[in-house]
Amino acid sequence: MKILIKKILYKILNISETKNNVKCSGFSRGLQNVVFQGKNEVPDRCNFSGEITIGYATTLGYNNVLHGNIVIGKYCQLGFDVAIHSSNHPIYNLSSYINSNLFNGELVKFKTSEKIIIGNDVWIGHNVIIVGNVTVGNGAILAAGAVVTKDVEPYTIVGGVPAIKIKKRFKDSIIKEIEELEWWNKEGKELEDLKHLFIKNYKNKESIYE
């Protein structure tokens, strides 16, 4: 009986609801801090604080935490347990502790806040952490478990702790063509007409138009 009740409650609590072109499932906190650009998906247990913009068709993962000044582009995919923090505790003061239990929280003024910008068509794997003043270029892939503390070039795969460059996804000539194409800014028939470019494999190719 208990198992049945748990299953029923789970289904009820995870019913998806679409509001303002954003599909939400379960319970997430701080949605009022986010500007959604439409066709977004927010699963259970996401947490938002600060000033956040999430681009068109970008989908989040279970238990994502986004804190600070963050801009995420269009058509991005975030895996489970991704954490993005643009603010940090002081490291050169006597203490890094900034909570109210010490001097009524006066030390919070030493907290630093940067900006994190994530481009379009970025894939952020499971359990990735992004911190500090970081820009992630279009088409980048952040491998599962990576801790990203520095800028990531467009169409580059990074991984590790701290994250380092593994390789570029394509040759520079192809990266240049995709950046010029800016397919993520197209819609309707214009995007449909480019569909044939999406089903090609560009490994060892020189151009997307070959």
What DSSP assignment string belongs to 12-58?
A: HHT-EEEETTEEEES--B-GGGEEE-SSEEE-TT-EEEEEEEE-TT-
Q: Which two structure tokens, joined as six digits, stand for 54? A: 């999430």
Task: Give the contacts of 116 (CB within 8 A, at least 6 positions apart).
Answer: 68, 69, 70, 71, 84, 86, 130, 132, 133, 134, 135, 136
Do 48 and 63 touch, CB atoms closer than 8 A?
no
Catalytic residues: 89
How many of the other CB atoms lie within 10 Å of CB of 51? 14
